[in-house]
Amino acid sequence: MIDMKPLPVIGIPRALLYYRSGTLWKAFFEAMGVPVVLSPPTSREILDIGSSLAVDETCLSAKIFIGHVRSLLGTCDRIFVPRYSSFQRSELFCTRFEGLYDQMRNVFRADQHRFLCCNVDALNGSPEESAFTELGKELGFSAQQSRDAWRRAKKAETDERKRLCRLQEEALRAPGMKILLTGHPYILSDPYLGKPILDYLRSNGAVPIRADETDREAAKKACARFSPTCRWVMNEELIGGTLLRKDRADGLILLSAFPCGPDSMTNELLTRRLHDIPILNLVLDAQTGTAGIETRLESFLDIIQFKQGAEQ
């Protein structure tokens, strides 16, 4: 370590890319002994606070993120809000993730809270390893210490990713009606948005399968064959994951947060081109109630059961 300053406590909002890269982030900080605190699980209160601080056009997931940032104020020294722009030339992120750091600094400019950024933008000379190396140096560690921490964190992320993919393969072999869910991890893994839907499916005898928990390289190759002009890397992965698993599913649920532009493109593309599987398009917003969702899910499961009975 370059100096002996006390290490800051880093707050991580439990929203958006946390559900994709949270294992990497936590393992990186922990490898260097930097204390981390997470925001609480998403609740109605967090959503309401985020909605009150956001402009109306902000997507539901970003409103939730703002609420998580607000919940961390006063609990840590710096809040980690990375900027993700590109992994490589063909792997771009939605502009929401590019501008998130600047947006949070603007929304909370009166609170005088310090944010911590990490600029992942391979197209402009800052690939992930370099970005985290610079992040470690900003926290007072050497370049070598930072690179070592990133490599350990990357292994932890890879191991966790493989574990999740194995669980999905096991679920596909389990008995019961298989329902494939195409949605971002920050929707499906969120305890307020996605968990009630997964729980409802399980309680009604269905087996939820997640398109996002698929081998990413295989998913991107499958998407390239299906739609070579798909722009956003996370949507490429969702499309590819859907294509790789749809033949082993009985129904498909397209789950998105209003008003997500990339997801509206993905959902429209899949709806128009997949004709051999029942599809339910669920769009969540701040006013969505569980009763309405459960009614639509119940009807969808009934349709699949009727279809299966008619085919027998």
Contacts of 183 (CB under 8 A, 6+ apart): 194, 210, 211, 212, 238, 253, 254, 255, 256
Question: What is the pTM for the complete model shown?
Answer: 0.92
Average pLDDT over residues 267-285: 92
The residue length of the chain stands at 312
Given a cut of 90, whether residue 237 has pLDDT beyond it is yes
Q: How confident is the model at residue 85 (pLDDT cuts 50, 70, 90)?
A: very high
Given a cut of 50, whether residue 1 has pLDDT beyond it is no
Average pLDDT over residues 224-250: 92
The token duo for 281 is: 């398009």
Q: 26-40, 48-62, 92-106, 221-235 — which one is most confidently predicted on average?
A: 26-40
Contact 140, 212 (CB under 8 A): no
Pick the CATH number of 10-157 from 3.40.1350, 1.10.1760, 3.40.50, 1.10.10: 3.40.50
Given a cut of 70, whether residue 4 has pLDDT beyond it is no
Contact 256, 267 (CB under 8 A): yes
Q: Identify the architecture of domain 174-311 in CATH.
A: 3-Layer(aba) Sandwich (3.40)
Residue ranges, CATH 3.40.50, the chain:
10-157, 174-311
Given a cut of 50, whether residue 8 has pLDDT beyond it is yes
Q: How confident is the model at residue 285 (pLDDT cuts 50, 70, 90)?
A: confident
Average pLDDT over residues 167-187: 95
Calpha distance 258→61 (Å, rounded): 8
* CB-neighbour burial class of residue 269 (10 A; exposed 0-12, middle 13-18, buried 19+): middle
Burial profile 72-104: b = 16 or more Cβ within 10 angstroms, e = fewer: beeebebbbbbbbbbbeeebbbbebbbebbebb
Choose among 295, 162, 141: nearest CA to 216: 162
